[in-house]
Structure 1
């Protein structure tokens, strides 16, 4: 279980998603949250809570290193300050293009922290084809930003269209079981104290949905797997503070902007009672879905036709 570092507790224009897209998330509110988090205390608070994204970036890099290919340029979509890009080395790529909707987060860290050439583009990830020409990229990577996308199927289609044939898409996003401890504690406390519940933790994609979405977007040779990162906190209050410093506050349309203090106190007690550990801490579980997809190409290895096997599986076994 990860342990966050001990810490004393103390605009640009974007294109609106196309008509017809059901919008769950307030993208402008999310941009402001990320901007505020990145510049708080000169960025020091934001750097202190990098532990989660750094851990996921390292696990995503392990999957990337299994791909025995060097890419001239890689797109880091929804990059933040570059958790994944900072791990790239010249033997895997010459250049990385970092794209993020939050200018403060995008420019938080200086260029000398990167080992490869970088270019930064401040733009909305939901309008990727307004930034990149079709069939222009060798690889697109996204590390923990897709869970704030309103039109996830549409963005995956845009990623596929931006890739060259046999281009790579590599992604990591939070799955549906993320922060289930916090979700249940808040719901039970709100039901008890206020007689109803409202959403405080964002809806997230299920593992099975990711495979279907990648296939519908036109990707092939799919690989999807899940992992968990568990972080121990002294109490629910430290978790909420770290989520704020990560820029991961609630950004659902119609969200409540205020929760009564006694409701939060009840949630903290329920959290500790239901999920507390023997050492007095409470765990927070982050489910991460990792995905790999390739844009179809005539040069890719193709599966054999059904019925073309030369040996029976029964004989092998």
Structure 2
């Protein structure tokens, strides 16, 4: 069950680029490949499908035609699937009818080949590219000023060099090209994080990083601006998914390929920790009426435009002709 709770707008603060790898991308690829080869993973596309629908809705406001679009970290192609799947939702149907004619061709890029090949699409509309997102070395990705638009949904949180990746995407875009992305932000799965910490403290007398770190939404604006994006907008939405127990939550995360993949990981979660986890989670965060366990996914949406002389610019200081005092 999905519930949108609220939307925030945040200012951005700078964040230093680091060569230290937080995530082991080889481990992450193995996790995603293992998940993609499990037929049960077809049942856990709900988050990515929902974000794909919201991306289509946001793109419906973009007045561009004949766009070559880069779907960066596309997974199984949730965005294209949303565009091509009939729906009874009238608003969604209007959004799709608005966006689909604007797209000339979609280039789907993902490092996980089994996910990339999960769904079949018309080759005249879609080109699939199996390439590492962080290395950005495929010949099509190396083309400068090629794409009119780039999107990326729920994949950037596993990138080590986020500033470098933003610069690569910017280089691939044409002048005044659009980048629209979404990624998990700080406080995602805070219920699971706090419960795991308490369970480990109770059984082991200490805590370890069991949930991968997420970016702070307040940092993304400056990261995009440093990557030469202009007119940057960042906002945050929360999606809450209710689970019957903590085992279902952790199983779904595994099937999504969202296991912990930090470099130098702690030891495995022990059986006694798991025994302590569910009652702690239930007492702290459970719904007393339904018995459901909520899990919060905090999604930061970002929009940036490659710099262009065509874009609106602020007027020079002191050029205004009307006094605010007269208006008030």
TM-score, normalised with respect to structure 1: 0.90
Q: Distance in 2 between matches of 1:248 and 1:80?
A: 12
What secondary structure does 2:297 align onto? strand
1:298 correspondence with 2:309: yes
Partner of 1:33: 31
Could you say which residue in structure 1 is the equivalent of 2:41?
A: 46
Asked if 2 retains the 8 angstrom alpha-carbon contact of 1:129 and 1:162, the reply is no
Is structure 2 residue 135 aligned with structure 1 residue 127?
Answer: yes
- Whether 1:80 and 2:88 are equivalent positions in the alignment is no
Instruction: Output the CA distance in 2 between the equivalents of 1:241 and 1:232.
Output: 14
1:63-112 deviations in Å (ceiling 9; x for gaps): 11111112431000000011112234531202100000100111011226
Match of 2:22 among 24, 47, 55: 24
Distance 2:100 2:218 in 1: 35
Aligned 8 A contact 2:75 2:116 in 1: yes
Task: Report the alpha carbon displacement of residue 227 of structure 1 after superposing the two structures with TM.
Answer: 0.2
- 1:15 is matched with none
- Give the secondary-structure state (helix, strand or coil) at the position aligned to 1:201: coil
2:200 pairs with 1:205? no
Cα deviation code 1:173-225 (max 9, x no counterpart): 00001000000000111011101111111111111101111111111011110
CA distance in 1, matches of 2:115, 2:239: 23
1:158 pairs with one of 151, 162, 168: 168
The answer to whether 1:285 aligns with 2:296 is: yes
- Secondary structure of the 1:128 match is coil
Q: 1:70: which partner in 2?
A: 65
Find the aligned partners of 2:206 and 2:220 in 1 and give their Cα distance: 31
Partner of 1:219: 229
Q: Kindly indicate whether the alpha-carbon contact (under 8 Å) linking 2:184 and 2:215 is maintained by their aligned counterparts in 1.
A: yes
Aligned to 2:202: 192
Select between 181-190 and 297-306 the one with higher mean Cα deviation. 297-306
Residues 204-249 of structure 1: per-residue CA shift (max 9 Å, x gap): 1111101111111111011110001100000111000000000111
**Whose RCO is larger (CA < 8 A, sep 6+)?**
2
| Partner secondary structure for residue 188 of structure 1 | helix
Q: CA deviation at 1:149?
A: 0.2
Please give the alpha-carbon distance, in whole angstroms, between the structure 2 residues aligned to 1:312 and 1:200.
56
Q: Please give the TM-score of this superposition, normalised by the length of structure 2.
A: 0.87
SS of alignment partner, residue 2 of structure 2: coil
Q: 1:56 to 1:265 in 2, by over 3 A?
A: same
| Alpha-carbon contact 2:131-2:138 (below 8 Å) kept | no
- The answer (yes or no) to whether the contact 2:152–2:182 under 8 Å persists in 1 is yes
Partner secondary structure for residue 254 of structure 1: coil
Q: Return 5+ residue gaps in structure 1 as ranges.
A: 4-19
State the distance in 1 between where 2:113 and 2:107 align.
14
1:25 CA displacement = 0.5
Judge which range, 140-149 or 69-78, deviates more.
69-78
Deviation of residue 285 (structure 1)?
Answer: 0.2
| Partner Cα separation in structure 2 for residue 265 and residue 22 of structure 1 | 35
2:67–2:147: 8 Å Cα contact kept in structure 1? no
Offset at residue 129 of structure 1 (A): 5.2
| Separation of aligned partners in 1, 2:325 and 2:132 | 53
Aligned alpha-carbon RMSD (Å): 1.6
Q: Which residue of 1 aligns with 2:111?
A: 101
1:307 alignment counterpart: 318
Match of 2:187 in 1: 177
Deviation of the 1:263 alpha carbon:
0.5
Does residue 90 of structure 1 match 2:97? no
- Structure 1 residues 26 and 183 mapped into 2: Cα distance closer, same or farther (>3 Å)? same
Q: In structure 2, what is the Cα distance between the partners aligned to 1:224 and 1:71? A: 26
Aligned residue number for residue 177 of structure 2: 167
